[in-house]
């Protein structure tokens, strides 16, 4: 399975990351909640070295609730409790050395051991109380960061189209097909190489009941 994924590279605009892969996981039942933002409002919160990327002059922030399954660290057996969890990440779109990618303001997860392990790899993870319920075709997702009640998300969403792969040159393709991510820890810029097969997505109908997660306030 991994060899098939690694050999599927024609859709990438950048080369595969150097070195062996470290971790794999599946993302399921996700919502890409894309929000346009004035470039000047967000660029001041990026670490030195990253350039804000824009689409037709507009910057974007994405809030992404989803369920992780089959999380697997290379050369290790899968841990029964830790391989599946809920996550909510907040990101924007950047360039570094000309390469497009994403910058994580924060990543919340509902299992403390996963959060602590991710923090050891310098990713800005936070421990949160989360719940995902499914009723018929609707997914209901709630997240409240522990010790940070102001960081709260609640929304309901469902698929509203057949699956498709976004066409190159469209906003959807620009937002989704990115293969590098960066985070900033104590003034250090951390680069993460990513690889996946082309995104296959569906349009969605969503109702966001509450969202209080300003990305620029994601510090401890």
CA distance 139 to 31: 9
The enclosing H or E element of 88 equals: strand 85-96
Secondary structure of the chain: what % helix, strand, coil (to 5)? 15, 45, 40
Q: What pLDDT is attached to residue 17?
A: 77
**Each residue's pLDDT expressed in tens, for the chain with a length of 220 residues:** 567 777 777 788 877 777 777 777 788 999 999 999 988 888 888 988 899 999 999 999 999 999 998 777 766 666 666 678 999 999 999 999 889 999 988 889 998 777 777 666 667 888 999 999 999 999 999 999 987 667 899 999 999 999 999 999 999 999 999 999 988 777 778 888 888 888 999 999 999 988 887 555 444 4
Which helix (H) or strand (E) segment holds residue 4: the answer is: helix 2-6
* Among candidate residues 72, 32, 67, 84, the one with its CA nearest the CA of residue 200: 32
pLDDT confidence of residue 214: 58
Q: Give residue limits of the domains in the chain.
A: 2-217
User: Within 10 A of 173 (CB to CB), how many other CB atoms are there?
Assistant: 17
Nearest by Cα to 190 from 201, 182, 202, 198 = 182
Longest dimension (CA), the chain: 46
pLDDT of residue 122: 66
**The residue to which tokens 């997914």 are assigned:** 139
Record the tokens describing residue 145, joined without a space. 């960061």
pLDDT at residue 218, as a whole number: 44
Q: What is the 3-state secondary structure (H, E, C) of 90-154?
A: EEEEEEECCEEEEEEEEEEECCHHHHHHHHHCCCCEEEEEEEEEEECCEEEEEEEECCCCCCEEE
Query: If you classify domain 2-217 with CATH, what class do you get?
Result: mainly beta
What's the pLDDT score for residue 118? Answer: 67
């Amino acid at each position: 399975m991994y060899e098939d994924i690694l050999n599927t590279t024609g859709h990438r605009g950048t080369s595969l990351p150097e070195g062996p892969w470290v971790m794999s996981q599946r993302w399921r039942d996700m919502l890409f909640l894309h929000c346009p933002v004035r470039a000047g409002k967000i660029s001041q919160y990026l670490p030195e070295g990253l350039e804000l990327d824009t689409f037709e002059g507009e910057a974007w922030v994405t809030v992404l609730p989803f369920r992780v399954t089959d999380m697997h660290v290379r050369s290790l057996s899968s841990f029964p409790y830790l391989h599946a969890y809920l996550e909510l990440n907040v990101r924007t779109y950047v360039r570094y050395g000309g390469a497009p990618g994403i910058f994580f303001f924060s990543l919340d997860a509902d299992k403390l051991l996963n959060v602590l392990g991710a923090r050891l790899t310098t990713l800005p993870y936070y421990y949160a109380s989360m719940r995902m319920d499914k009723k018929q075709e609707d997914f209901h997702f709630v997240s409240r960061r522990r010790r940070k009640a102001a960081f709260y998300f609640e929304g309901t969403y469902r698929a509203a189209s057949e699956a498709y792969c976004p066409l190159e040159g469209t906003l959807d393709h620009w937002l989704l097909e990115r293969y590098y991510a960066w985070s900033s820890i104590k003034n250090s810029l951390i680069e993460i190489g990513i690889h996946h097969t082309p995104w296959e997505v569906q349009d969605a109908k969503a109702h966001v009941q509450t969202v209080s997660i300003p990305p620029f306030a994601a510090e401890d």
